[in-house]
Amino acid sequence: MSFQGWQDGIMINAALPHAMSLKCLSYMDEKSSIVFMTSSASYLINRDSYLDMAGYFGTKGAMNQLMRALSEYNDKRATVCAMAPHIPYENPEEDAIIMTQLTTRILDLQDTDNGKILQCFPPSGNIVYYDGGT
């Protein structure tokens, strides 16, 4: 992996979303939400798939950490969470289910979602909190 590629990944997947969120906070209040789009592979490291994409998932892991800090330390008391879907682009029917579930939940976030990673997997697309297990 090139060092420039690593820098670009951190910038695109963590630093820019975080910086934009900080800027947006000036227009927010306690009814507002910030949603980071991350990946389950960024925290489920005991897996046998996608190991060749460790750099990408590492940058998403940085995003998870920034989300968690921002959920606790924002002066507007906005809800900040991360959605961690597996989007099966190769299967349009399941893809549509996942995207619908994500959209519905994002538009109905609650205070209890603050600081949480919400998982979403095919085929059902049910959204559940990541519980910290592996």
Task: Say what the pTM is.
Answer: 0.90
Residue ranges per structural domain of the chain: 3-129
Determine the pLDDT at residue 2: 83
Separation CA 77–CA 61 (nearest Å): 23
Residue 121 tokens, joined: 């997997």
Separation CA 3–CA 82 (nearest Å): 27
Please classify residue 5 by burial: count the beta carbons closer than 10 Å to its beta carbon, then call 0-12 exposed, 13-18 middle and 19+ buried. exposed
Q: Which pLDDT tens digit goes with each residue over 92-118?
A: 999 999 999 999 999 999 999 999 999
**What angle (nearest 5°) sits at the alpha carbon of residue 98, between those of residues 94 and 104?**
145
Determine the pLDDT at residue 54: 87
CATH number of this structure's domain 3-129: 3.40.50.720
Residue 24 banded pLDDT, cuts 50, 70, 90: very high
Residue in the block written with tokens 């046998």: 48
Determine the pLDDT at residue 1: 67
Q: Which pLDDT tens digit goes with each residue over 49-107?
A: 888 888 899 999 999 999 999 999 999 999 999 999 999 999 999 999 999 999 999 99
